[in-house]
C-alpha cells in the first residue's frame, strides 16, 4: 500500500529535510510513501561529490546533500521521484532496491518506445544518442569508464539519475527523469562526475510527452516494482 503524493514544484532543501525527517522518525507501521515533484533550478552534490565537477554554477544554487553520488541538476520539466520505503519490511537490500528503481525507469521509457540502458559501474539510465529506439544490447564490455569518451563504441546520453540514502533501513532521496527541460545547466557540471557526458531529455530525442503523463507512468511502475 502506497501513499502517493504529487507535490508540484517545491524548493529542494525543505523537501530534502522533510523526507529525511520522514525516514528517521517513521513508526514501524507507517505506510510507504512516494513523493513526486519538480524542483526550481538547483544543483545538488552527493556525499562523494568533488568540487572540480562543478564547472560554473553561476546563478543556480548548489546544495550539498547526504545522498550518494556526485553532482546533478534539477529543474522544471524534470520528474523527480522520492520513494520513502522501509526496506526491512519490503524484504530486500539496497542493491535490489537500486535495480528496481532503474527497472521502473526503463519501463517508463518503454511506454514511449524509448530503450533505456544500464551501464556497468554508473547508476542511472542512458539512451543511445544516434537511435534511442534501438533494442540491441550495448557493445560488449561497455562500462562507466567509456561514458563521455570521444572514442567510445557507443554514444550515450544520460536521461535519468539516481541518488539514494538509507537510514534505519528506510530510504529517501531517489531518482530524476528528464522529460522536457532546459538542458543548458548540465553544461555547467560534469554530470554525475563524468566529463564529456551528454545529458538528454525525452524532448531532445523526439518524444512528445508531458511531465505529468511521465510522472503518472513512473509512479505506477515504482509502486508495482517496489512491492515485496
List residues with catalytic annotation.
192
Residue 169, by phi and psi: left (phi above 0), alpha (psi -120 to 50) or beta? left
Q: Do 47 and 72 form a contact (C-beta atoms < 8 A)?
A: no
Q: Is the dihedral of CA 27, 30, 33, 39 positive or negative?
A: negative
- What is the spatial distance between Cα 55 and Cα 186, in angstroms, rounded to a whole number? 10
Helices (H) and strands (E) in the chain, counts: 4, 11
The H or E element spanning position 108 is helix 94-110
Amino acid at each position: 500500500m502506497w501513499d502517493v503524493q504529487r507535490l508540484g514544484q517545491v524548493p529542494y532543501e525543505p523537501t530534502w529535510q522533510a523526507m529525511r525527517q520522514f525516514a528517521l522518525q517513521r513508526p514501524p507501521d507507517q505506510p510507504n510513501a512516494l513523493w513526486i515533484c519538480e524542483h526550481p533550478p538547483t544543483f545538488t552534490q552527493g556525499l562523494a561529490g568533488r568540487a572540480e565537477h562543478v564547472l560554473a554554477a553561476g546563478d543556480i544554487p548548489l546544495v550539498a546533500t547526504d545522498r550518494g553520488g556526485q553532482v546533478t541538476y534539477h529543474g522544471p520539466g524534470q520528474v523527480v521521484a522520492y520513494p520513502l520505503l522501509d526496506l526491512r519490511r519490503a524484504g530486500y537490500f539496497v542493491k535490489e532496491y537500486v535495480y528496481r528503481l532503474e527497472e521502473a525507469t526503463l519501463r517508463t521509457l518503454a511506454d514511449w518506445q524509448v530503450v533505456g540502458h544500464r551501464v556497468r559501474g554508473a547508476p542511472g539510465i542512458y539512451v543511445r544518442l544516434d537511435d534511442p529506439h534501438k533494442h540491441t544490447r550495448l557493445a560488449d564490455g561497455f562500462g562507466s569508464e567509456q561514458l563521455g569518451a570521444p572514442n567510445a563504441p557507443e554514444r550515450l546520453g544520460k536521461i535519468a539519475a539516481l541518488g539514494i540514502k538509507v537510514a534505519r533501513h528506510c530510504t529517501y532521496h531517489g531518482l530524476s527523469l528528464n522529460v522536457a527541460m532546459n538542458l543548458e545547466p548540465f553544461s555547467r557540471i560534469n554530470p554525475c562526475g563524468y566529463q564529456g557526458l551528454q545529458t538528454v531529455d525525452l524532448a531532445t530525442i523526439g518524444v512528445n510527452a508531458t511531465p505529468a503523463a511521465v510522472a503518472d507512468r513512473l509512479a505506477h511502475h515504482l509502486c508495482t516494482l517496489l512491492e515485496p
